[in-house]
Amino acid sequence: MNPSDETVVSMRERLLQAASQLFYTEGFRAVSAERIIALVGTTKVTFYRHFPSKDELMVAYLERHAALERAVIGDVLELAEADPEAGLRLAVDALAAASCAPGYRGCAFINAAAEYADPAHPVRLVVLSHRRWLTEAFCALLGALGLPEADAQDAAVELMILRDGVTVGGYLDDPAAVTRAFARAADAVIGAHRIAASEWNDIRA
């Protein structure tokens, strides 16, 4: 990489970092491109060279956030190959811990979706893609526990609903109480589907 390439990468990263902080704390619509440009100390020409539109910057921010979450869940999925119980517990603990983190202001994806009602908007498409990925990850973890595919899919959707609840509750209510409730509710969902699957197997037998 030559020095000019390093400068380009550094400026793009600075813009993305500044935007990420502002987008998360204040929302997309409240933060203008001009404000980000001023914070970084660059020019409009430089900004639009890296991000031809504010939409592209918003998408880059969400995609980075998604990559971070997927890296954590990816580690969980690897663990689940050897120990499904530990893998699922780690996934629940990781989601609960995120809602207790300093400066937490709710799920970045739910926040983003609340600002853009159009399901075809680029922001909503990133949100949908990531939520689909999370649901499939839950389904894989539940499948590793031995749940039949249909039960795993249903339970994954239910865990996503609980996940959404803890991201809101962790911001608005007592994070510690919310995370304890989340863990209990997740255990109840998984236990109920395990019992149902076991009873179905007994009937078939």
Q: What CATH number is associated with residue 193?
A: 1.10.357.10
- Indicate whether 34 and 57 sit together in one domain: no
- Indicate whether 60 and 37 sit together in one domain: no
Please determine, for residue 203, whether its predicted confidence score (pLDDT) is greater than 90.
no
Closest by CA position to 80, among listed 145, 131, 139, 132: 145
Please determine, for residue 56, whether its predicted confidence score (pLDDT) is greater than 90.
yes
Please determine, for residue 107, whether its predicted confidence score (pLDDT) is greater than 80.
yes
Q: Is the distance from CB of 194 to CB of 142 less than 8 angstroms?
A: no
Number of domains in the chain: 2
14 φ, ψ (degrees, to nearest 5): -65, -40
Rounded mean pLDDT, 69-76: 90
Please determine, for residue 196, whether its predicted confidence score (pLDDT) is greater than 80.
no
- Indicate whether 45 and 122 sit together in one domain: no
Q: Is the distance from CB of 167 to CB of 106 less than 8 angstroms?
A: yes
Task: Tally Cβ neighbours within 10 Å of residue 117.
Answer: 8
Residue 89: domain span: 53-204
Q: Is the distance from CB of 52 to CB of 84 less than 8 angstroms?
A: no
This prediction has a pTM of 0.86
Band the pLDDT of 7: cuts 50, 70, 90. Answer: low
- Indicate whether 47 and 99 sit together in one domain: no
Q: How far is CA 194 from CA 6, 149, 150, 200, 203, in A?
A: 53, 12, 12, 10, 14
Closest by CA position to 47, among listed 63, 36, 58: 36
Task: Tally Cβ neighbours within 10 Å of residue 171.
Answer: 15
Structure-token pair, residue 20: 């990420």
Per-residue pLDDT reduced to its tens digit, 149-168:
999 999 999 999 999 999 99
Which residue type sits at 114? A
CA distance 182 to 27: 26
- Indicate whether 65 and 90 sit together in one domain: yes
